[in-house]
Structure 1
Amino acid sequence: MKKPYLDSMPDANGFFGKFGGAFIPPQLEKPFQDINEAYDKLSKSFEFLDELKKIRKHYQGRPTPITYCKNLSDFIGGGQIYLKREDLNHTGAHKLNHCMAEALLAKYLGKKKLIAETGAGQHGVALATAAAYFGLECEIHMGEVDIAKEHPNVVRMQILGAKVVPATHGLKTLKEAVDSAFDAYLKDTDNQLFAIGSVVGPHPFPKMVRDFQSVVGIEAKEQFFEMTGKLPDMVTACVGGGSNAMGIFSAFIEDSVKLYSVEPAGKGSNIGEHSASLTYGSEGVMHGFNSIMLKDSEGNPAPVHSIGSGIDYPSVGPEHAYLNSIGRTSIGLCSDDEAVDAFYKLSQHEGIIPALESAHAVAFAMKYAKENPKESILVNLSGRGDKDIDYIVENYPIPLKDI
């Protein structure tokens, strides 16, 4: 019998077709092999899985619900929009789903410290939370630009006991934060675990983070069927690295459900004005994995932009590249202005303030609903917008509620 998709992808070397793998310096080969072997063992361990299940139920507050957006759907006058409410997960985003699991893995490996990158700060907050829970040290690398933009999350990380290290080179955003974290991890691979924050990086992280995030899709599929008696016509999520999208997509890959990856179109199609890797990129290796990436004229990672700090990354998870290459997923685009509009509309019509990253998926769902009035649309609302409200009100005037 044919293996289910999630059991057959990636292959033993971490490849999804030609994407993925582990392109790393020799000194990292043994640490990443140890992580892979430990994950293979723990992913089949009842003790590990049972502890994770209890943490998710009694600490994270899972399962998160699905909310039907009747007001927004009526306002649009098109398809019916539903939200998978990862904004109600503890710490306010989907990131804790894999951070608690990565911290548990670190304890098994005897590590004393968690180290990671963050863009919008949601991964940093989640990892700092996990470190506090398990009694581990925590160091978060964050671009200097994002530190200023996402100040509330920086304070949260520090309150939780994490050390926040600014990345001061290049564009001083997410890509540079990853560079900085890798450099710090290389200095002590024995005592630290680099807890990568998305379905990116060398094998086994794209697989491991997808598997830890698959709880989102498992819950959503069951909940939506219970609510409506059928599966959604379309599922959508924002994609930077792509952990929240792979989490919800994973349950629907083998079903006849349309899957849309929403990329940040930023403020234009020129290099440096967007972060739409799948739309404008080409094959290339960055941060230890082969995928689709945005490149400058010399073939190096291109400068990128998005109003959503968590999705301004010049590449995309290798599984997203693979699924798009075989036609299983489609691409949606959302500009900065469209994301802000969706941010306000969801807030004012439903009383739900979304993260700017998640607002990209909401904006695309609103456009799609207008064009497909008979369809049901499930959006992964990957995070809440507390972190973004200061930036938004300072730069985008609050509009009057639409009538």
Structure 2
Amino acid sequence: MTLPKPYLLHVPDDKGYFGAYGGSFIPPNLQTEMDKIYAEYKRISKSADYVAELRSIRKNYQGRPTPISYAKRLSNHIGGGRIYLKREDLNHMGAHKLNHCMAEVLLAKHMGKKKVIAETGAGQHGVALATAAAYFGLECDIYMGAVDMEKEKPNVVRMEILGAKVIPATEGLQTLKEAVDKAFMAYLEDPENILYCIGSVVGPHPFPYMVREFQKIVGIEAREQFLDLLGELPDHVVACCGGGSNAMGIFSGFIDDPTVKLHAVEPLGKGTNELGDHAASISHGTDGVMHGFKSIMLHNKDGEPAPVHSIASGLDYPSVGPEHAYLATEGRTEKGAGATDQETAEAFFTLSRFEGIIPALESAHAVAYAIKLAKQYPDASILVNLSGRGDKDLDYVVSKYPELLQAPVEGR
């Protein structure tokens, strides 16, 4: 493994490549708009006024910095390593997504856009963008798979209350990929007046780069907080990984520290290696191009994006951000990090009952894997990015896992 240092200043290159992954594979008219977005971002990211406004929003509106909590009772219950939680669930609207949404909509305002649009899976990105659009006074359309709309009804209602229009994607599996497809088609119709605010570190350049830069505040805070708390860095940093925005956010603070192992936890779904039973792109995917970027992705026998499955709507995507593909192939992230639906549901209830924190199902994947690490490494310190809270998932979880709801709480 040989990564340039300081990593964040050298990667990606000017064309948006993270090693062999990334780039921009889109029609010429859309490429023109991407070039404008990149140029404007590079300009205002160095602007004292833009930076000051964004910092003020993060402090006085979002509630940053979010704290690190030591999960003492959970750690004692496991009897292994010490688990710490970076509390992005305490960010305004309950997830890390507002970190990049406020910045993206502020960019849209600077560019004179009239509307922002996005896809969403679990609804957290949609809620965050609807929040930012309300804050800045822009129109907002959110595209969401019809299946996900049914699973995540509370977030659909939140988006509508905030003034966004939620548009169902009824094609194919009716989940996140189809929502992305539909949002891209809408963006193609009027890119001059619309900014497509991509919800993760995916898509054509410059979005994987920009979203990482907006999310790196999580890692910057976490590194400083952990050193202040313990006087040393964590042994392991763990985050769930679908597209991978929350993972790149926290990894950014530790990527130059070779003693810190990074774990991008993929959704193993039903626990088989069969296509359609999981969404573990890094573990089972191959190189390909989709939605305007090159990365590792899951394909069917015809070379098309494969069907995927996860208990977490925000993770059921047949690819991963190009930076995650790069870090995995370079060996910077650890191999085989994943959690099944069952492990995730169990972690959801375990964290709730031992720490009084109800995690999003996406975040519960990271908690489940951290529990595995704690048992494997009893002397280790493990920092988990708790990327969101689980209000949105309550109805789904109690209906699908009634046996876990009724199970006695042992060891408490």
Q: TM-score, normalised by structure 2?
A: 0.97
The residue number in structure 1 matching 2:72 is 70
Residues 105, 136 of structure 2: 8 Å contact kept: yes
The one-letter amino acid of 2:312's match is: G
The one-letter amino acid of 1:401's match is: V
The residue number in structure 2 matching 1:385 is 390
The residue number in structure 2 matching 1:134 is 136
The residue number in structure 2 matching 1:209 is 211
Residue in structure 1 matching 2:368, options 360, 363, 366? 363
The one-letter amino acid of 2:99's match is: N
Unaligned 5+ residue runs, structure 2? Answer: none
CA distance in 2, matches of 1:14, 1:393: 42
The residue number in structure 1 matching 2:44 is 42
Question: Structure 1 residues 3 and 393 mapped into 2: Cα distance closer, same or farther (>3 Å)?
Answer: closer
The residue number in structure 2 matching 1:260 is 263
The residue number in structure 2 matching 1:402 is 410
Question: Structure 1 residues 136 and 347 mapped into 2: Cα distance closer, same or farther (>3 Å)?
Answer: same
1:3: how far off? 5.2
Residues 276, 309 of structure 2: 8 Å contact kept: yes
Matched residues, percent identical?
67
CA distance in 2, matches of 1:305, 1:371: 27
The residue number in structure 1 matching 2:202 is 200
CA distance in 1, matches of 2:201, 2:408: 38
Q: How do residues 10-159 of structure 1 correspond to structure 2 at under 5 angstroms?
A: 10-159=12-161
- The Cα offsets for residues 360-393 of structure 1, whole Å up to 9 and x where unpaired, read as 0000000110010000000000000000001011
- The Cα offsets for residues 2-57 of structure 1, whole Å up to 9 and x where unpaired, read as 75110110000000011000000112011100000011111111111110000000
Residue in structure 2 matching 1:226, options 228, 234, 245? 228
The residue number in structure 2 matching 1:172 is 174
- The Cα offsets for residues 134-159 of structure 1, whole Å up to 9 and x where unpaired, read as 00000000000000000000000000
The residue number in structure 2 matching 1:352 is 357
The residue number in structure 2 matching 1:336 is 341
Three-state SS of the structure 2 residue aligned to 1:302 is: coil
Three-state SS of the structure 2 residue aligned to 1:91 is: helix
Residues 66, 90 of structure 2: 8 Å contact kept: yes
CA distance in 2, matches of 1:401, 1:173: 34
The one-letter amino acid of 1:400's match is: P
Count of paired positions: 402
1:394: how far off? 1.0
Task: Confirm or deny that 1:376 pairs with 2:407.
Answer: no
Residues 5, 256 of structure 2: 8 Å contact kept: no
The one-letter amino acid of 1:365's match is: A
CA distance in 1, matches of 2:400, 2:262: 32
The one-letter amino acid of 1:30's match is: T
CA distance in 2, matches of 1:310, 1:339: 14
Q: TM-score, normalised by structure 1?
A: 0.99
- The Cα offsets for residues 242-279 of structure 1, whole Å up to 9 and x where unpaired, read as 00000000110110200001000000210000000000
CA distance in 1, matches of 2:334, 2:203: 23
Task: Confirm or deny that 1:320 pairs with 2:329.
Answer: no
Residues 240, 362 of structure 2: 8 Å contact kept: yes
CA distance in 1, matches of 2:54, 2:338: 35
The CA RMSD over aligned residues, in Å, is 0.7
Three-state SS of the structure 1 residue aligned to 2:300 is: coil
1:402: how far off? 2.2
